[in-house]
Amino acid sequence: MTEEKCLETNVMKELVHGTPSLALALLESTPHKEPPLVASSFGGTGSLANPMNVVRVSSKSTVTHLYAQLLSLAAVLRHQIGYQLSIGSGSQHRQRGAYLDLVWSPLADLGALARGLRGLLTPPTTDIDKLLLERLRRKITPDPKVRTLWYGSFGDDGAAASTPMVWSSLPASRVLPPYRPLELGEDPVYFTRPLIEFTDLSNDRTVRLLHDGLLPRAWRSYLVSIWPRTCHFTLKFPLEELPIPVGADLSVRVTYLGKDLNVHGGDWEEIDRQAMPTRLVANGVEVHPWMDPPETTRSHEFGLPASAFKGRSELELCFQGKEVDKNTYRYVPIPVAELWILARGSDAVLGPFGSQNGASKL
């Protein structure tokens, strides 16, 4: 992960200097990963070779040979106690112990970065590649009239490091219920706060998306409500901790998880998770009306109404599922993968800060 992150940083530096072809060449010429495994579903073909066949490995110190040694150990465990660490050694699927089949799962964003770089050189033709190119352009050529007041990729604080300058360091633990850091050993209080869920890599299609660079790091975790009492959940932002420029228009950008990623695998795949219509409210004022679950994961931007800020010292963003009494692990409000609070205007970057209890145009 450290090597991947260093490579990603170097590629971005090369890109910022305006040479996408050299940045792509650096990325493609650096051996940053091993060939991914092909994992099959039940009874499929092309799964990992049976580790029982691994009887001898080279002593050469590489990631591949370390993996071979793990397979050799897995073969011993399979023979002695019936332990199944891979589909190839008899495990049903990755959710039931085939953890070795996840060894090659990318942790950084190199795959998505490579696709974005290729999009800079050759116009993309697919919707997902167009989205990845748009995300990359925001990173390397941020709009000088837009200030990112706050950004959150829920469940992965490190994802914010690759976002253009974020002006507020307000941690997500103070934004989400119970609006304080949880103590070690404390119950995660899922009855009173949304669940932070991670992409289910026991789903074969999701694994392929990840290896193909079609699943950005920031989309691999998200907020999702699984109990009726959390079907409406509120994020709180003290306005005094958001450096809002004078005269700026405020907006929110939300990445809603689409039907393409709001899925499970393994034993849970058959429940066929679905999302209900969802709306967003700011301090009691509607930001967007009821939205049906999108087909694909993407970011949406909405203006924050001026009336939502009048006489307020806090911004409360409430995500509301429409059918509270039907909210279960299977039927949820649209999951939230990312959230930006943005300020727009001619002085949005260099202008003075506004008052702390004004409107969306401060």
Torsion sign across C-alpha atoms 355, 287, 251, 228: positive
Q: Which of 28-37, 84-93, 128-137, 295-304 has the lowest mean pLDDT?
A: 28-37
pLDDT confidence bin for 304, thresholds 50/70/90: very high
**What percent of the chain has a predicted confidence (pLDDT) above 90?**
40
Instruction: Please say if the pLDDT value at position 302 is more than 90.
Output: yes
Average pLDDT over residues 304-328: 95
pLDDT confidence bin for 1, thresholds 50/70/90: low
Instruction: Please say if the pLDDT value at position 104 is more than 90.
Output: no
Residues 6+ apart with CB under 8 A from 296: 127, 128, 258, 259, 260
Residue pLDDT, tens place only, 51-89: 443 344 445 556 666 777 788 888 888 888 988 888 877
Average pLDDT over residues 354-358: 36
Average pLDDT over residues 103-120: 86
Average pLDDT over residues 281-293: 97
Rounded (5°) CA angle 70-73-76? 155
Of 92-106, 137-151, 293-307, which one has max mean pLDDT? 293-307
Of 41-45, 96-100, 169-173, 342-346, which one has max mean pLDDT? 169-173
Q: How far is CA 117 from the centre of its chain?
A: 20
Torsion sign across C-alpha atoms 250, 135, 217, 290: positive
As a whole number, the mean pLDDT across the chain is 81
Instruction: Please say if the pLDDT value at position 362 is more than 50.
Output: no
pLDDT at residue 21, as a whole number: 84
Number of residues that this document lists for the chain? 362
The whole-angstrom separation of Cα 70 and Cα 123 is: 42
- Comparing 359 with 145, the larger pLDDT belongs to 145
- Comparing 229 with 168, the larger pLDDT belongs to 229
Torsion sign across C-alpha atoms 10, 16, 17, 20: positive
Decide: helix, strand or coil at residue 206. helix
The residue written with tokens 């925001």 in the block is 138
pLDDT at residue 265, as a whole number: 86
Residue pLDDT, tens place only, 3-51: 777 778 788 888 777 788 888 888 877 665 544 433 333 333 333 444 4
